Amino acid sequence: MNMRTQNRVILRLCLTSLFMAGVLFAVRTQQAWPAQSSNTHVTSLEDEQESVALPKLVEIQSAPVAPFHSTIFFVHSRLGPFTPAERAERLERIIRQLGRNNSFSPTLIKIVQNGTTLEIIYDDTVVMSVSDGDAEYLQKSKEDIAAEYRDNIARAIVQHRHYTELPSILIKMALVLLILVAFFFIIKYVNRLFMIVRRKLVALRGTYIKGIRVKSYSLLDEDKCIVVLLFFIKIIKYLTLLAILYFFLPLLFSVFPETRGLAGTLWDYILTPFSEIVIAVKNYLPKAVAITVIVTLFRYLAKGAKYFAGEIEKGKLVIKGFYPDWAAPTCNIVRTLLFIFMFIVIFQYLPYSDSRVFQGVSVFIGVLVSLGSTALVGNMVAGLALTYMRPFHVGDFVKIGETAGTVIEKAPLAIRIMTIKNEDITIPNSNIMSVHTVNYSQTARENKLILYTAVTFGYDTPWRKVHELLLSAAAQTPHVLAEPAPFVLQRALDNFFAEYQINVYIAEEKLMPRIYSELYENIQDAFKDAGIDITTPAYQSFRGKNRIQITQ
């Protein structure tokens, strides 16, 4: 929306407000608003002291007389079958009729004795009656009360007629127009001021506004900083316009007596929330101080736990039976327990913590978490158990179930394994706890890893020759250690063949698949060069004289 469009909108708003104010005043002057309820007091300047001095019973039984939107006095007692509210309603109706009488004269209002009551009369119309009950309630004589009521009625009618005369209306309309014109120009120049601020802000890009960086990370570049600042400028602009509007609306409504109540209501709408906020903050300050002290205490306890965990992890602090790789997870557990205990302690100091709504929401969230996080909690507990079991570390070559590869990440919920085929596999911690785990790297570091494979030969092949050829093949295989030396185990003597197992030591467990492949190749070459058929005796019997020729 450009500047010209905004000015048009503001002008239309001003004209609409002016029109509505004029219509409202015209309607109110012809037909007054209904009388206020008996529990509502809108006092005028003349009767302010009287209303303050009235006993508390007035708020319950007395009825205000407000024919022209301002209370002129109260009716306190019954008169025959009529309640104070019914008397006040009838009195307001008669006073409004007198106010519409163009020939009204205050001097024609008289006080006449009628039996035990005094009647206030205008011409032949009885305006109201003052009884002994009114005098007894106010602790005054009937004559004083009747004179006071007469003067208040005459003053209210004269004042109302003055406000509704054409010159007074024209003056008030001119004042309304002046207020709207001032409002229009203030809004116009406020908008222009903020446009200048926006231009100046954009012009600062690259000079004073160079972006925000956190070490090597660019949190906000120049363009994003400009966007954020312009957004805050827009918020300030709207708040300023809203404040101006709330200042001018009560001022506008206060011109006409009929709308002055709206001005007070608007100010109440503004001031009441702020006063409630200030009172709430003031009452909450002791609890806020208690929360600050508790949070500070637990924060330093958490820092202390983190410090000792770092010392253990670096090896500066040694605790017997406590491994350095346990330091970080143990620190996380201790910190979590500290924060949980801290929340339990400060829960009673939180705002509305004792309300049923707060407690119900807390229970609801707890049920949702317990129902929806069963697998999550299971994986976290399994990860915690794996941490203290120490079956493997990051970088170890392991076999979990049927999956073999290098551990590249250990997380609280799962681990990641990179297989020899460069497959990135994620295994949940709960699955690891239910299958067996083989750590090849740990065995290679501590005792050297043994690779083994079995071959079978008939009994016509000398076992010493088989041992010799297997050891020769192992010696020719790269990455097989000479010390400890390879060895052969004779595993079984079956009905048709004997089973031999060659065992070799290696130190590079991650080359295990390649070493197996090269060992198999060397075994085949060794027996082929010796002229020994490596096929099983059962297959040799089945093929008869059809010998398989092994080519180079």
List the pLDDT tens digit at each of the 552 positions of the chain: 555 555 555 555 555 555 555 544 444 444 443 333 333 333 333 343 343 334 443 344 788 888 887 788 888 888 888 888 888 889 888 888 888 887 788 888 888 888 888 888 888 888 888 888 888 888 888 888 888 988 988 888 888 777 777 777 788 788 888 888 888 889 889 999 999 988 888 888 777 777 777 777 667 777 888 888 889 999 999 889 888 887 787 777 777 766 666 666 766 777 788 788 888 888 888 888 999 999 999 999 999 998 988 888 888 888 888 888 788 888 888 988 898 899 888 888 887 777 777 777 777 777 766 666 677 777 788 888 888 888 888 889 999 988 999 999 988 889 999 998 899 999 998 888 888 899 998 888 888 899 999 999 888 889 999 999 999 999 999 999 999 999 999 999 988 889 999 999 999 988 999 999 999 999 999 999 998 887 765 555 555 545 544 444
Integer Cα distance of 237 and 219 in angstroms: 26
- 69: nearest Cα among 43, 90, 91, 105: 43
What amino acid is encoded at 439 in this protein?
Answer: N
pTM of the model: 0.47
> Containing H/E element for 350?
none
Q: Which residues contact 319 (CB under 8 A, 6 or more apart)?
A: 312
Domain contains 383? no
Q: Which amino acid is at 179?
A: I
18: amino acid identity, one letter:
L
Do 226 and 123 lie in one domain? The reply is no
Q: Tell me, yes or no, whether 437 and 453 share the same domain.
A: no
Residue 159's CB is within 10 A of a number of other CB atoms, namely 17
The pLDDT of residue 543 is 52
Q: Do residues 497 and 519 both lie within one domain? A: yes
- Number of Cβ atoms within 10 Å of the Cβ of 246: 14
Q: Which residues contact 272 (CB under 8 A, 6 or more apart)?
A: none
Final residue of a structural domain among 401, 423, 442: 442
Predicted pLDDT of residue 7: 53
Write down which residue in 216, 238, 255 finishes a domain: 255
Q: Is 33 left (phi over 0), alpha (psi -120 to 50) or beta?
A: beta
CA pair distance 431, 103, nearest whole angstrom: 101
Task: Say how far apart CA 204 and CA 222 lie, in whole Å.
Answer: 10
Same domain, 95 and 194: no
On the CB side of 347, CA atoms within 13 Å amount to: 12
Considering the domain architecture, whether residues 150 and 203 belong to the same structural domain is answered as: no
| pLDDT computed for residue 294 by the predictor | 92
Residue-level pLDDT at 213: 72
Residue 506 backbone class (left: φ over 0; alpha: ψ -120 to 50; beta: rest): beta
Q: State whether 397 and 314 are in the same domain.
A: no
Q: Are residues 250 and 291 in the same domain?
A: no
- Tell me what pLDDT residue 344 has: 86
Domain that includes residue 270, residue range:
263-372
What CATH number does residue 456 fall under?
3.30.70.100
For residues 437-449, b (16+ Cβ closer than 10 Å) or e, as one string? eebbbbebeeeeb
Residue 37 CA to chain centroid, in angstroms? 43
Other residues' Cβ atoms within 10 Å of the Cβ of residue 505: 19
Based on the domain organization, do 186 and 333 belong to the same domain?
A: no
Looking at the structure, do residues 70 and 157 belong to the same domain, yes or no?
yes
> What total number of domains does the chain contain?
5
Which of helix, strand or coil describes residue 213?
strand
CATH number at residue 407: 2.30.30.60
Place of tokens 């025959």: 80
Tokens 């909108």 found at = 9
Torsion of CA 42, 44, 48, 51, to 10 degrees: -40
Question: Does residue 392 sit in the same domain as residue 500?
Answer: no
Residue 425 backbone phi and psi in degrees, to 5: -115, 130
For residue 337, the tally of other CB atoms under 10 A from its CB is 11
**Cβ atoms of residues 95 and 127 within 8 Å:** yes
Taking alpha carbons only, the member of 125, 119, 96, 109 closest to residue 31 is 96
Judgement on whether residues 519 and 487 belong to the same structural domain of the protein: yes
Please indicate, yes or no, if residue 42 is contained in any of the structural domains: no
Domain end point (choices 204, 225, 255)? 255
Structure tokens at 435: 């299958």
Mapped onto helix, strand or coil, the DSSP state of residue 55 is: coil
Supply 60's token pair: 């319950």
